[in-house]
């Protein structure tokens, strides 16, 4: 009994020690021991701020990033190529076109291997102006073209000492078979025939050893007309045919009389067109020397007062023809020379519209009375040489010609 009492006391003492610690938990079956914490728990953030007061926001810094040392690999480099011993061959000049300028016509011979570009697929690929070949020469393998000097869309240019008839030879290659492959390029070749103007033609079989009286008279009747563009000071022939709208063109017609009796030159008729002889055309001088451009369009175009009888000057504002995309203008004028003894009248005058009336270049204004009448001298009638005048001047003869200037290009003035 004594031993049991001692055991009970020891158990109660141990239980009392556990209760004093206050950390034993009893769930009715097994006791659980929770040891005391070694460190004090931190306060909540709100309580810390309240205790320590407002603080600056904390800035977190990162360690600097290391640079990227990687890069794309370089493209492979080809080794240098050795220079090839190549020398381009110059084109070989071949005589494939021959022209024979005769007295009244021209003959052109063209080989089928045109410019070394191989054989022609069809004779229609080669044309002279608007004309096709008239024959074929088997011995030379050539196409034959033949035309009058005024045929096949030829162009005549007149100079003091010679005449030039020009033709355009065109090569337009066609595609091979049913494909769109073309083995050559289109080519246009300008062909010219030069004829001297100072040449007397005689129907005699043999030239006489002496100079007959008739030849002297013929030489006295040779006249040379001129129609040129001049500079603004009228001292030189203008080298350029380029104008802009609103520019003034200065034109001069003259006649060289040599051993003639004193002469006076006139402009009976002038027309402007996109190509020589084409329509529509603009008539700016008509009715035997009436300059109607100023009256029709209100431009300052006019004849200038005469400086001498063998020269006639006039100025005209540059213009373009409606529908002409290139701005080319051809001026064709009918010139006439008469004896200076013939008085200025309704068929021999140079009248300009100034203000509200007509003024004659020589001051004989009454000769312009019929300028308002429609009609007059035109270019449809061919030039006549040695035309007799009315009865009062039957001994006087007139000389006439038609001259076309090289194309004048008129462009728009850009601002």
CA dist., res. 21 & res. 23, Å (int): 6
Instruction: Report whether pLDDT(54) > 50.
Output: yes
Q: If you compute the radius of gyration of the chain from its CA atoms, what whole number of angstroms results?
A: 53
In this structure, are residues 359 and 368 in contact, taking their beta carbons and an 8 Å threshold? Answer: yes
Domain enclosing residue 139, as ranges: 97-196
Residue whose pair of structure tokens reads 């595609």 in the numeric block:
175
Query: Is 307 contained in some domain?
Result: yes
* pLDDT tens column, 230-246: 999 999 999 999 999 88
pTM attached to this predicted model: 0.47
Pairing state between β 135-137 and 142-148: antiparallel
Instruction: Report whether pLDDT(209) > 80.
Output: no
Lowest-confidence pick of 171-180, 228-237, 282-291, 406-415: 171-180
Lowest-confidence pick of 258-262, 331-335, 410-414: 258-262
Is there a single domain that holds both residue 190 and residue 241? no
CA dist., res. 176 & res. 402, Å (int): 47
Candidate ranges 21-35, 78-92, 198-212; pick with highest mean pLDDT: 78-92
Query: Is 115 contained in some domain?
Result: yes
The confidence score (pLDDT) of residue 106 equals 93
Query: Is 141 contained in some domain?
Result: yes
In this structure, are residues 346 and 366 in contact, taking their beta carbons and an 8 Å threshold? Answer: no
Instruction: Report whether pLDDT(174) > 60.
Output: yes
Is there a single domain that holds both residue 248 and residue 394? yes
* pLDDT tens column, 72-101: 888 888 888 888 787 777 766 567 888 999
* pLDDT tens column, 345-392: 999 999 999 988 999 999 999 999 889 876 555 554 444 444 444 444
What percent of the chain clears pLDDT 90, i.e. is strictly above it?
Answer: 34
Is there a single domain that holds both residue 240 and residue 148? no
The confidence score (pLDDT) of residue 20 equals 53
Query: Is 82 contained in some domain?
Result: no
Residue whose pair of structure tokens reads 């609103």 in the numeric block:
246
Q: How is residue 168 written in tokens? A: 């355009």
Is there a single domain that holds both residue 321 and residue 372? yes
Is there a single domain that holds both residue 176 and residue 250? no
The confidence score (pLDDT) of residue 322 equals 85
The set of residues, in sequence order, having a beta carbon less than 8 Å from that of 412 and lying 6+ positions away, is: 244, 245
Is there a single domain that holds both residue 246 and residue 330? yes
Query: Is 288 contained in some domain?
Result: yes
Is there a single domain that holds both residue 161 and residue 285? no
Of 377, 376, 398, 378, the closest CA to residue 388 belongs to 398
Query: Is 140 contained in some domain?
Result: yes
φ and ψ of 268, to 5 deg: -75, -35
CB atoms within 10 A of CB 347: 20
Is there a single domain that holds both residue 353 and residue 387? yes
Burial class (CB in 10 A: 0-12, 13-18, 19+), 184: middle
Residue 45's H or E segment, with its range, is helix 45-52
Is there a single domain that holds both residue 234 and residue 382? yes
> Which of 164, 181, 196 is at the close of a domain?
196
Is there a single domain that holds both residue 182 and residue 261? no
CA dist., res. 233 & res. 231, Å (int): 5
Distances (CA, A) of 338 to 265, 333, 385: 7, 16, 11
* pLDDT tens column, 247-258: 999 999 999 876
The set of residues, in sequence order, having a beta carbon less than 8 Å from that of 411 and lying 6+ positions away, is: 242, 243, 244, 245, 327
Kindly report the length of the chain.
415
CA dist., res. 320 & res. 308, Å (int): 32
Instruction: Report whether pLDDT(311) > 90.
Output: yes
Is there a single domain that holds both residue 341 and residue 395? yes
Q: What is the CATH number of the domain that holds 237?
A: 2.60.40.4100
Is there a single domain that holds both residue 192 and residue 264? no
CA dist., res. 249 & res. 238, Å (int): 10
Q: What is the CATH number of the domain that holds 155?
A: 2.60.40.3210
Total domains, the chain: 2
In the predicted model, what is the mean pLDDT of the chain?
Answer: 78
């Amino acid at each position: 009994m004594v031993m049991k009492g001692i055991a009970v006391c020891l158990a109660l003492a141990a239980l009392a020690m556990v209760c004093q610690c206050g950390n034993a938990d009893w769930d009715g079956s097994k006791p659980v021991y929770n040891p005391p914490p070694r460190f004090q728990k931190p306060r909540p953030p709100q309580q810390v701020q309240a205790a320590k007061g407002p603080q600056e926001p904390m800035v977190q810094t990162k360690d600097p990033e290391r640079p990227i040392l990687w890069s794309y690999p370089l493209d492979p480099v080809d080794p240098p190529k050795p220079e090839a011993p190549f020398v381009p061959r110059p084109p070989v000049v071949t005589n494939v076109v021959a022209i024979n300028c005769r007295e009244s016509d021209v003959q052109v011979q063209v080989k089928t291997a045109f410019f070394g570009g191989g054989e022609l697929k069809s004779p229609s690929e080669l044309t002279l102006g608007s004309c096709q070949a008239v024959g074929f020469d088997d011995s030379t393998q050539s196409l034959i073209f033949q035309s009058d000097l005024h045929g096949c869309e030829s162009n005549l240019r007149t100079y003091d000492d010679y005449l030039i008839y020009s033709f355009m030879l065109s090569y337009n290659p066609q595609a091979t078979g049913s494909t769109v492959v073309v083995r050559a390029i289109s080519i246009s070749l300008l062909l010219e025939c030069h004829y001297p103007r100072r040449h007397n033609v005689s129907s005699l079989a043999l030239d006489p050893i002496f100079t007959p009286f008739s030849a002297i008279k013929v030489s006295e009747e040779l006249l040379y007309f001129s129609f040129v563009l001049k500079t603004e000071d009228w001292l030189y022939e203008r080298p350029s045919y380029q104008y802009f709208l609103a520019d003034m063109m200065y034109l001069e017609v003259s006649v060289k009389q040599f051993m003639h009796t004193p002469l006076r030159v006139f402009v009976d008729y002038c027309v402007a067109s996109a190509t020589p002889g084409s329509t529509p055309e603009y008539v700016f001088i008509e009715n035997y020397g009436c300059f109607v451009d100023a009256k029709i369009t209100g431009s300052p175009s006019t004849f200038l007062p005469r400086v001498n009888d063998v020269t006639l000057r006039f100025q005209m504002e540059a213009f373009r023809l409606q529908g002409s995309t290139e701005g080319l203008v051809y001026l064709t004028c009918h010139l006439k020379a008469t004896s200076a003894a013939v008085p200025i009248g309704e068929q021999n005058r140079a009248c300009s519209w100034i203000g509200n009336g007509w003024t004659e270049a020589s001051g004989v204004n009454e000769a312009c009375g019929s300028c308002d009448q429609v009609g007059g001298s035109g270019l449809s009638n061919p030039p006549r040489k040695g035309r007799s005048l009315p009865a009062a001047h039957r001994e006087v003869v007139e000389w006439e010609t038609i001259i076309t200037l090289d194309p004048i290009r008129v462009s728009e003035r850009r601002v």
